[in-house]
Amino acid sequence: MKPEMPSPMIHFHKRAPRVIYLDNAATSRPKPPEVPAAMARFLEEVGANPGRSGHRLSIEAARVVYRAREAVAELLGVADPLRVIFCANATYALNLALRGLVRPGRHVVTTGMEHNSVMRPLRALEAAGTGLTVVDCSAQGVLDPAAVERALRPETIMIVMTHASNVVGTLMPVKEVAEIARAHGLLLLVDAAQSAGALPMDFESSGADLLAFTGHKALYGPTGTGGLLIGRRVDLAGFEPLTRGGTGSDSDAELQPEFLPDKFESGTMNAVGLAGLEAGVRWLREQGVEEIRSREHRLTARLLEGLSEIRGVGVKGTGDASKQLPVVSFTIAGLDPGEIGLRLDNEFGIAARVGLHCSPATHQTLGTFPTGAVRLSLGAFNSASEVDHTLRAVQELARDADNGACRT
């Protein structure tokens, strides 16, 4: 039997001393206790540089890195662990894929629901001579795959899309777009920063060619971990690394190794972080991705239903928990999102994120640009009582706004 997730004691009063953490889309909190324990154990008992020496501690450090690689491969459905490339975060992984494969004169298609980790490197490539088409989505953040196909050109090389919106959690039609990409001989790069670990995933059968993930969100590892999954259709010979340097392999050569994962992993690895990532992934598998997803679905539905019943509250996205991750954004008529977030924190002990969420394209799609919205994002450790407390807090704020009151 899996243990029940703990929840903090809730006191519905001003200046609540405990924090109800609803910012899991930024990073999951808390981490399972196994994660800091694994990191402390690495520092205390290993603490060496993986792959750089032949002594037992360096060998053990390399084992830690490889075990993390195997754990991620098993969870995300990658047949060859060497095709799991580790880097600092999903942003680096996306830049690696885009800048390593896209050349001036080629064309890329993306969507109006992308994070700046996709949009900013794409705009930089556009400025350097790459064609770019941003496909519009509905005001609820839904993408029509047929619109992606209509945007293709003879010079198109890649389609880039998020798997799930970081603003409203909308699940995107990755498999349908993957079929389009395959039919036209194109690469599909998926930004799975929000979805890796939050949904059952099989990279090999997804149709994606490249998938960027982060370790510190739904994989429950520490910050500073993430990576890129590289499929077999990707031409490695034409795939340029972002960095070149020491890899601990082919040390007699001054050229970068061409084999995986070394081609894309220069410099000392974040071994202590990867020890924590492995622990987070192992914990996730023990709990069960589907079981956590089911629990989060129920809480998301509870939150969406409650918010929709509060006068003056506008819920963004589909409003359907089955079509999104546990990421919910809303506005309150008459209140700035910044004020809402401040009051949620100061008066009710609720940690939320406000503003544009590093995703202005998404907010333009949703109609919330430039002020943004308030985002509540649930995780494995949240409870129904926390959702109910949050709904009462939002109701009080909406009532104040309706009455013309303003407090700080």
**3-state secondary structure (DSSP) of residue 160:** strand
What angle is formed at CA 27 by the lines to CA 23 and CA 28, rounded to 5 degrees? 80
Token pair 């501690």 in the structure block, residue: 57
Single-letter residue type at 161 = M
Angstrom distance (rounded) from CA 164 to CA 111: 12
Instruction: Say how many Å lie between the first and final Cα of the chain, rounded.
Output: 45
Angstrom distance (rounded) from CA 212 to CA 287: 23
Catalytic residues: 358
Angstrom distance (rounded) from CA 187 to CA 225: 25
Instruction: Confirm if 317 and 366 have CB atoms less than 8 A apart.
Output: yes
What angle is formed at CA 75 by the lines to CA 285 and CA 376, rounded to 5 degrees? 70
Instruction: Confirm if 211 and 164 have CB atoms less than 8 A apart.
Output: no
Angstrom distances, CA of residue 75 to CA of 81, 172, 200, 282 = 11, 20, 8, 9
Residue 75's closest CA among 326, 231, 382, 286? Answer: 286
Strand-pair partners of 229: 84, 211
**3-state secondary structure (DSSP) of residue 350:** strand
Run of H or E residues at 191: strand 187-191
How many residues can be counted in the chain? 408
**3-state secondary structure (DSSP) of residue 179:** helix
Angstrom distance (rounded) from CA 126 to CA 114: 16
Single-letter residue type at 249 = S
